[in-house]
Amino acid sequence: MNIELEKTWLLEKIAGINSEKLISRLKAVIKEETDTVDFWDELHDDIKAEVKVALTEIQEGKYTPHEEVMKDYEKWLKK
């Protein structure tokens, strides 16, 4: 697939569209595919603060690895 040819084809097709509804739908698809929102920016400040604390604790070695937690709770999970 030649991306430049594909884009040219799309431009020609879009230029020939007279339907406002179709243009609106195409615009929505393009907007959805090209707008990137970092989930971090969407988080509440309290959550961000907690995540930062957790990351600091991990860096300092103040955590329990998942494998250890799973061993401790294995008896409860087998029921």
How many structural domains are present in the chain? 2
For residue range 5-17, list pLDDT tens digits in order. Answer: 999 999 999 999 9
Beta strands in 25-68 (DSSP E): none
**32/42 same-domain check:** no
Show the domain range for 19: 1-36
Whether this prediction's pTM lies above 0.75 is answered by: no
Q: Quick one: 29 and 45 in the same domain?
A: no
pLDDT of residue 75: 81
Judge whether 53 and 47 are in contact, CB under 8 Å: no
State the distance between the two ends of the chain, measured CA to CA, in whole angstroms: 53
Q: Which two tokens stand for residue 69?
A: 């937690």
Is 17 in contact with 24 (CB distance < 8 Å)? no
